[in-house]
Structure 1
Amino acid sequence: MFNKKVYRKLIYYPQMGLYRDDCTKRNIYAPGVLEAAVQRLPESVQRERQFRISRAFLHSTGKTILDRKEWTMDDDVEYLDSALASVIRDIEIKRYWDQNGEQPPDDFKLTPEQYQTTLSNMISQMQPAIQPK
């Protein structure tokens, strides 16, 4: 089993000042899910995220990395999970509403299995990427 510290030293994004959630790809989720989750974040978190991504892009194009003191090795923040869960829950509530014609009960919750199933269904419904000619 990999030690977490060893793994973090081998990956590239902390050297660019990025968090794990900054590297979440849009094509992992159904169209619009990641964008909706980012919009639900506080404005300051959105600005910080955009700054980190822009700075990483600048350093990546210049083939440089940040100074060691600016690396995000030990302070990785998983800020996107709750927003993604909220968006997926809203999608499930809408689906429940559409199927049953009524509002779901107040104790309507997704189990981890339902969450994974919903995520798998959303991924399977995605449109394939356009292939370049």
Structure 2
Amino acid sequence: MPNSRSAPHPLTDGLKIDFRAAAVAAVTNTITFRVSALGRWAYNMSGFNQYGLHRDDCLYEDDDVKEAIRRLPEKLKDERNYRITRALHLSLTKTILPKEQWTKYEEDTKYLEPYLEEVKRERDEMAKWEANK
């Protein structure tokens, strides 16, 4: 008599795969939640959001970042300058914004990223061009 555990059953074989897929999905969702929760915690602990700043407002201004800032549309550049000026004033007066005015994790956009990527792409292209001369 064959062992019933070793013989595949047409109804339960698919269920094993579905259970595994469901388990993987559950683990993935848990990891994603924990990573986003950790990211949110780190974002709030950084403190720059209490001054109304965005992540991109706090980047170290190397040559690439300076060029990306120069390429920003005037409206984005004015908004950035306002946030930085306000943060400097708040820092000097040793105060922070009311909590409802803090930059929220979900609302913080990487507004500088497309311009920065373009600058880096151009720099890399120029380096390749110079190398081929």
Amino acid at match of 2:51: M
* Corresponding position of 2:53: 18
Q: More helix per residue: 1 or 2?
A: 2
CA deviation after TM superposition for structure 1 residue 25, in Å: 1.1
RMSD: 1.5
TM-score by length of 2: 0.67
Q: 2:76 aligns with which of 45, 56, 59?
A: 45
Amino acid at match of 1:23: C
Gaps of 5+ in 2: 1-33
Runs (4+) off by over 6 Å = none
Amino acid at match of 2:66: E
Amino acid at match of 2:41: V
Is the counterpart of residue 91 in structure 1 residue 123 in structure 2? Answer: yes
Gaps of 5+ in 1: 102-133
Amino acid at match of 1:99: A
State which drifts further: 1-10 or 33-42: 1-10
For residues 57 and 47 of structure 1, the distance between their equivalents in structure 2, rounded to whole angstroms, comes to 15
Deviations 1:81-121 (A, max 9, x none): 111111111111111111113xxxxxxxxxxxxxxxxxxxx
Percent identity reads 34
For residues 35 and 8 of structure 1, the distance between their equivalents in structure 2, rounded to whole angstroms, comes to 24
For residues 49 and 100 of structure 2, the distance between their equivalents in structure 1, rounded to whole angstroms, comes to 11
Amino acid at match of 1:79: Y
